[in-house]
Amino acid sequence: MLPIRLARFGIRSVAANCKRINIGSLSQVAREFSSDERPQFPGSRSQWTEKLEFIRPDLYDGIPVYRVMDRKGKVIDPSQDPQLSQEMVTKMYKCMTQLNTMDRILYESQRQGRISFYMTNYGEEGTHIGSAAALDPKDLIFGQYREAGTLMWRGFTLDQFMNQCYGNVDDGGKGKQMPVHYGSKELNFVTISSPLGTQMPQAVGAAYAYKRSQNGLCVMCYFGEGTSSEGDAHAALNFSATLDCPVIFFCRNNGYAISTPSKEQYRGDGIAGRGPAYGMLTIRVDGNDVFAVYNATLKARQVAISEMRPVLIEAMTYRIGHHSTSDDSTAYRSVDEVRYWDERDHPISRLRNYMLSKGWWGDAQEKEWKEDCKRQVMTAFARAEKKLKPNWKEIFTDVYHEMPSHIREQMKQMEEHVQKYAEHYPLKNFTKD
Amino acid sequence: MALRTFIKRNLILNNKCPLRISQRWSHFTFVPDTVSASEGETQRMNLFQAINNSLDIALTQDPTAVIFGEDVAFGGVFRCTVGLQEKHGKSRVFNTPLCEQGIAGFGIGAATAGATAIAEIQFADYILPAFDQICNEAAKYRYRSGGIYDCGSLTIRAPCSAVGHGAVYHSQSPEAFFAHCPGLKVVVPRGPIKAKGLLLSCIRDKNPCLFFEPKILYRSAVEQVPVKEYTMPLSKADILVEGDDITLVGWGTQVHVLREVCQLAKDQLNVSCELIDLVTILPWDKETIAQSVKKTGRLLIAHEAPLTSGFGAEIAASIQHECFLNLEAPIERVTGFDTPFPHMFEPFYMPDKWRCFEAVKKLVNY
């Protein structure tokens, strides 16, 4: 084996690498090469076949959907009931219903022009609460934008949600982003960004850093089925498997990416069908079954951390609401279709039925909680609305760790301008210096 | 017999081959920096060795530091990471799959989670798939989160600029794309001594940094580099030659081209040039350039990247604003043309010393 001359670069390194191959291993390789049993390609050593046969993508029904309860909330196989305490299950129920109530109020507030934008979580509450409940509160979450329930589960207050939506002086994000772009350092929820899928390779890098730090935690990455078409999704799944990262990929397959139905998003077996192709453990679950989501996430977490490998969960669900306040989904789907899911397969009603069957809930409690919940949401709402916005000079903060001179210069110029033309700027809505 | 000898004997010496393979055309002569004796022991290093040294120091001192990208494990296609995996381990210096958007995203996440992430993009020409991650995410991470999340411990390194034969996709200088993105830092070294210090500064800087390394300098730039650990300030331009008649601004390889222009101007025009290496493209040191132009009244900016919206445009716009009444002539830019980077025509494309010299002549006689 002669070292091949490479123009300009790498000549010596090729020669150095060649020196490392000794005669003993060369003859061993030669012996393996002479055996006809398996292909020897570095890319694949599977098996030989002499049959010209293409693999058909529609050969099988698709990866089955794991569930614990039927659509009415009755546990099918008792061994799969996670046997959570009444306290835990009640907390799950209250969290889902509070999320639902908050969604109704904030959606309405956008319609009334009080906030600029909102996205509801209707129908997907089970995916949020079921998964969040199975994680360690210190596991880092990278979300897409429809995972508010995971934050709520961890303790993000109604005030904090509302402050961000109003972009007021108490918004943790300092009024920089549109509503629903929440973030929390204490609750280990990375701030949401609008570009889809970008969070996915980031989640993998974070998981790698966690692995190196040996902190016993994993990273949770949420994304929708539409987002899974982005290049970043492919990058993330591939990197996570090749670099052995403790990350759980949780796909909320809710049937729509704005108006694009899933049958126009992919031709294969959903997102779960891709997992084995990347070399990762995969499961598809009923996303409207809180216990199925809980069980799968709990197991995925155990595997991710103990075996240092990624796991893919595809949670099948349905987006009952519009994509956002900028969308009217009656333009692309029937009201009947939406009604079916709202009335016949809703995570909240299924869990309620489970609680009723256990004697943990009743009409009186439902009425009391509904009123209490609404009152809490309304008072938080009123508080958020009254607050001023942050000082307008926040425009110039946090671009860099330290404010460089050119940004400071621009801030000064604007300060002078605003002073001169004060009556043309809505200063009374913003906190003063 | 060896191929080279065969060609030389049978083609070149017989005048049968129009190409003179043994001769290499270069548009510049590298001029090494020197350091004072107070910097301590030095070692002869070229650019890739200095970068290797800087990375080694970073990994030695910061247990969370990791280096990743395509082919970095065996030492990298430009040998910048040679020996690092052996020394620091496979979990700290590792290959990723071939995917620039993945490399950038992975780096951002690792930095967010507390690691010092040093990513390599194999050629700056291939950084574009990572543009979304770099500009929409990394640059804005701190701002959009109200300061509670950031990826300041991310550094992305990439070889850039012309190399003699790189053509369309191995010669690009993309600094201007990123200069337009608030939240990033963009740095271009001119030689080994600067590179070692600047890279360490970038790695330690609390903002995501892009470090573009002129690949033609990897072997040709050799200096006596201090072996100790040291950093160099970002956003501080270097005045390399002091002068009174005209200010010349460049970065990376172009600095060495401009050095020759200074000499030519002195010899042939009796013109005294002030040469400034910008060093950092973003945030850039407007103060130093403005001070110089207020003294000289003339400014020539030269860069390999195409003319329209190249970084020279930003310098020109800002300096005409700062120094309008001091200017004796319009600000001149000598740059690559508004075309993709061609292969065979590289000697005509580059902002070489003759085009720059001609521009100096024009400005001085305006």
For each of the domains in chain A, give its residue range(s) and CATH number, in order of start.
1-36 (no CATH), 78-386 (3.40.50.970), 392-429 (no CATH)
Q: Give the B window 219-278 contacts with A, CB below 8 Å.
A: 219, 235
What's the Rg (C-alpha) of chain B? 21
Nearest CA in chain B to A17: B74
B25 has a pLDDT exceeding 90 = no
What is residue B77's predicted lDDT score, i.e. its pLDDT? 98
Listed residue (B60, B34, B80, B28) closest to B193, CA to CA: B34
- DSSP structure class, residue A430: B
Q: Give the B window 179-198 contacts with A, CB below 8 Å.
A: 182-183, 185
The neighbouring-strand residues paired with B236 are none
| A9 vs B contacts (CB less than 8 Å) | 77-79
A138 in contact with B, Cβ within 8 Å: no
Nearest CA in chain B to A199: B105
| A200 vs B contacts (CB less than 8 Å) | 105
CA distance B265 to B272: 7
Is there a contact between A206 and B113 if contact means CB atoms under 8 Å apart? yes
CA distance B335 to B310: 8
Residue in B145, B235, B236 to test binding to A, most A beta-carbons within 10 Å: B145
- DSSP structure class, residue A273: G
Q: What is the mean pLDDT of residues B58-63?
A: 98
Phi, psi of A153 (to 5 degrees): -60, -40
Q: What is the largest CA-CA distance in chain B?
A: 72
Nearest CA in chain B to A218: B113
DSSP string for A151-199 = HHHHT--HHHHHHHHHT-TT-TTTT-S-TT---BTTTTBPPP-SSTTTH
Nearest CA in chain A to B89: A212
Name the CATH architecture for the domain at B42-226.
3-Layer(aba) Sandwich (3.40)
A140 in contact with B, Cβ within 8 Å: yes
State how beta strands B42-46 and A219-224 pair.
Answer: unpaired
Q: Which of A198, A205, A235 sits opposite B117 (nearest CB)?
A: A205
Q: Which of B99, B114, B143 sits opposite A235 (nearest CB)?
A: B99
User: Does ipTM exceed 0.95?
Assistant: no
What is residue B12's predicted lDDT score, i.e. its pLDDT? 54
Least confident of A10-19, A313-322, B30-39, B158-167: A10-19
B123 in contact with A, Cβ within 8 Å: no
| A232 vs B contacts (CB less than 8 Å) | 101-102, 105, 132-133
CB-side exposure of A128: number of CA atoms within 13 Å?
Answer: 30
What is residue B3's predicted lDDT score, i.e. its pLDDT? 73
Residue B103 is which amino acid?
I
**B170 in active site:** yes
In this prediction, the residues of chain A whose per-residue pLDDT falls under 50 are 1-21
Listed residue (B88, B84, B87, B64) closest to B76, CA to CA: B84
Tokens, residue B125: 């020409």
A235 in contact with B, Cβ within 8 Å: yes
Q: Which of B79, B92, B148 sits opposite A172 (nearest CB)?
A: B148
Residue A338 is which amino acid?
V
CA-based nearest distance A161→chain B, Å: 14
Is there a contact between B145 and A173 if contact means CB atoms under 8 Å apart? yes
B10 has a pLDDT exceeding 80 = no
B18 has a pLDDT exceeding 60 = no
> What would the CATH number be for the domain defined by B238-365?
3.40.50.920
Residue A222 is which amino acid?
Y
How many Cβ atoms from other residues are within 10 Å of residue A309's Cβ? 18
Whether residue B36 contacts residue B230, with contact meaning beta carbons closer than 8 Å, is answered with no
CA-based nearest distance B291→chain A, Å: 16
Q: What is the mean pLDDT of residues B211-229?
A: 98
Same CATH fold, B238-365 and B42-226? yes
Q: Give the B window 3-22 contacts with A, CB below 8 Å.
A: 3
| B109 vs A contacts (CB less than 8 Å) | 142, 201-209, 219
A279 in contact with B, Cβ within 8 Å: no
**Which pLDDT band holds residue B22 (cuts at 50, 70, 90)?**
very low
B79 in contact with A, Cβ within 8 Å: yes
CA-based nearest distance B307→chain A, Å: 24
CA-based nearest distance A232→chain B, Å: 6
Among the listed residues B70, B100, B120, B304, the single catalytic one is B100
CA distance B272 to B58: 41
- DSSP structure class, residue A395: G
Q: Which of B99, B207, B219 sits opposite A401 (nearest CB)?
A: B207
Domain ranges of chain B: 42-226, 238-365
Q: Give the A window 162-201 contacts with B, CB below 8 Å.
A: 171-174, 176-177, 181, 183-185, 190-191, 193, 195, 198, 200-201
Is there a contact between B287 and A405 if contact means CB atoms under 8 Å apart? yes
Active site residues of A: 108, 194, 323-324
Sign of CA dihedral A352, A353, A354, A359: positive
Is there a contact between A201 and B110 if contact means CB atoms under 8 Å apart? no
Nearest CA in chain A to B80: A10
B136 in contact with A, Cβ within 8 Å: yes
Model pTM score = 0.93
Q: Which of A171, A191, A397 sits opposite B149 (nearest CB)?
A: A191
Q: What is the mean pLDDT of residues B54-58?
A: 98
What's the Rg (C-alpha) of chain A? 27
